[in-house]
Amino acid sequence: MNTLTTACAVAFAACALSANADTRPDSHAPISVMGEHTHKKGELMFSYRYMHMSMQGSRDGTSAISPEETVSTVANRFAAPPTLRIVPVDMTVDMHMVGAMYAPSDSITLMAMSSYITKEMDHITFMGAAGTTQLGTFTTKTDGIGDTSLSALIRLPGERLHATLGVSLPTGDIEQTDDILTPMNTRPTLRLPYPMQLGSGTYDLIAGLTYSGDNGSWGWGAQWRSLFRFGENDENYTLGDEHRMQGWISYLAHPSLSLSGRVGYFDRGNIDGIDSAISGPVQTADPDRQGVQRVDVGLGANFLFPGARHRLALEASVPIAQDLDGPQLETDWSLTLGWQLAL
Ligand SMILES: [Cu+2]
């Protein structure tokens, strides 16, 4: 930015626009994208994001599968009964994410993020060891702090290109329990399946690369970001690695408002190992029914308040394709709202 500022001192009007790139609402990516901008030396930023995700109905591969079909045809990996007997029908995830960014120099921005997560899942329990007679329904709920990430965003040669290198700390609990309804009509309190837990239980590596640019009323960007899981947690398993590839464009509708479109690809692997306290005739308890490949599209808006200190942003996204190691609940839509304060 220094050489650019010097060049701007020569007073090219067009240059002033790009030199003030961070006073444009679209100098930040759509709000669902993490760690996509850097700061100049001494800048400090706080952020709060609220994310809601809604999942309803299950898929096996790319096809929908009904609860009745699941309990008639899908094998139970645990000894007995032979097929699954409990089927999750919907799930919501609500996350309150807080973050801080600080740039000790123009070339490095440090970022810390953590979250408070609430998960809720509704299920149908089918009676006994076979057949499609429903016994009843039940809901499980967990909430608490999720994993915490510490990252360095390192600017690379080029106008707006940076690498991300970080670690995700296992601050999220992986021993959450709740009451369930069994096919034998009992209601024990058990450790809940993997999708209801709040963290990975392992120290994970975050790596990524982000590019962005703008010209006139248009802006664009692309990001790769992965989460590599290392070692095994205390319960003897490792969550699957996660990889995200995203591309976005934005249009400056007003000096304070930009509108964005985003396409994102998400890939998550299955679980390696197994928690001996998690079992039962339900798809979510199977470490081999956790893998996801999904393409999402999102529409969003960024609003920059006069003075360029406060930003508000929102984005709604829906999947346009998903392939699940199922049966597994499918994602239907998600919404992210965010507030950012630069100091
Ligand atoms: Cu920031």
Distance 55 CA to ligand 1 centre (A): 30
* Distance from residue 17's CA to the centre of ligand 1 (Å): 19
pLDDT at 5 (0 to 100): 41
Determine the pLDDT at residue 308: 85
CA distances from residue 24 to 21, 95, 208, 217, 310 in whole angstroms, order as listed: 6, 27, 24, 10, 12
CA distance 269 to 104: 36
What ranges do the domains of the chain cover? 2-342
Separation CA 201–CA 184 (nearest Å): 32
Count CB neighbours of 7 within 10 A.
12
Q: Tell me, in angstroms, the distance from the centre of ligand 1 to residue 265's CA.
A: 23
- Ligand 1 centre and the CA of 116: distance in Å? 20
Please name the fold of domain 2-342. Lipocalin (2.40.128)
Query: What's residue 23's pLDDT?
Result: 80
Cα–Cα distances in angstroms (integers) from residue 135 to residues 15, 81, 91, 118, 123, in the given order: 69, 16, 20, 27, 11
45 - beta bridge partners?
101, 342
- Rounded to the nearest angstrom, the distance between the alpha carbon of 81 and the centre of ligand 1 is 52
On the CB side of 141, CA atoms within 13 Å amount to 4
How far does the centroid of ligand 1 lie from the alpha carbon of residue 45, in Å? 5
Q: Give the pLDDT of residue 111.
A: 98
Please give the distance, rounded to the nearest whole angstrom, from the Cα atom of residue 46 to the centre of ligand 1: 7
Tokens found for residue 258: 């930009």
β-strand pairing of 86-105 with 44-61: antiparallel
Alpha carbon separation from 15 to 10, 177, 218, 273 (Å, rounded): 10, 57, 15, 55
Q: What is the pLDDT along the chain (343 residues), one digit of tens a residue?
A: 344 444 334 333 333 333 344 689 999 999 999 999 999 999 999 999 999 999 999 999 999 999 999 999 999 999 789 999 999 999 999 999 999 999 999 999 999 999 999 999 999 999 999 999 999 999 999 999 999 999 999 999 877 999 999 999 999 999 999 999 999 999 999 999 999 999 999 999 999 999 999 999 999 999 999 999 999 999 999 999 999 999 999 999 999 999 999 999 999 999 999 999 999 999 999 999 999 999 999 999 999 999 889 999 999 999 999 999 989 999 999 999 999 999 8
